[in-house]
Amino acid sequence: MNYPNGRKNGTQKLRSQNKAETTFSNRGMTLEEDIELSNDYYRNANIAIVHKKPTPVQIVNVDYPKRSAAVIKEAYFKQASTTDFNGVYRGRYIDFEAKETKNKTSFPLSNIHQHQIDHMYACQQHGGICFIIVKFAVFDEVYLLPASKLFLFWNDQFKGGRKSIPYDYMKAEAELLPFHYQARIDYATALDKLYF
């Protein structure tokens, strides 16, 4: 989870010399990396405790060489049964999934799976705060969409509705997350506005 102090921090420092503290462009890393750096910052600054869940793997064959670490020789990727991120913020359980799209006009719902919807719906029922973070790579814009709004589109698609969330809807109804030097994907500030 914690990136070594080498490359990534170096990259950040170079950036901060050239850019204002808040900008909407030149994020550079993947959305997931940016969120993990934000989670690191939130943890170190004692703002929130959020972790990415490990990739689920079905381990079939493990080698135990003498005097060295066990080597997994055969394993397969499993479908995750939940979302990628969860944790605690201001006393609330939070749970979210992060997705990038190259699409310019909409976010295709095919990026999300039914079991993730079910998971977020259940967590919300129990008092959790659930949302998705969507990056429109072409515009280098990142949005936080509350799960309750996602559910509307999700359910509509099975009643003849569209199979994507329009970019214009995101612009109007989701929270744009500005890039910050420390909290690169500053979802906690958006949650303050939306839920507290």
Which of 14/71 has CB closer to its own copies?
71
Q: Report the length, in residues, of the chain.
A: 196
**Residue tagged 């990739």 (tokens):** 55
Closest contact distance (angstroms) between CB of 51 and its own copies is 5
Alpha helix stretches (DSSP H) within 19-146: 31-44, 114-125
Residue 82 marked in a binding site: yes
Which of 15/92 has CB closer to its own copies?
92
The four Cα atoms 96, 98, 101, 106 give a dihedral, to 10 degrees, of 20
Closest contact distance (angstroms) between CB of 148 and its own copies is 16
Closest contact distance (angstroms) between CB of 91 and its own copies is 3
- What is the distance between the alpha carbons of residues 87 and 93, in angstroms, rounded to a whole number? 6
Cβ(129)–Cβ(135) below 8 Å: no
Closest contact distance (angstroms) between CB of 105 and its own copies is 31
Residue 182 marked in a binding site: no
Picking from 40, 151, 142, 73, the residue whose alpha carbon sits closest to that of residue 101 is 142
Three-state SS at 20: coil
Which of 49/152 has CB closer to its own copies?
49
Contacting residues toward its own copies, per CB under 8 A: 1-2, 43, 46, 48-49, 51, 53-57, 59, 69-78, 80-82, 86-93, 95, 119, 122-123, 125-128
Annotated binding site for Mg(2+): 82, 84, 97, 116
Annotated binding site: 82, 84, 97, 116
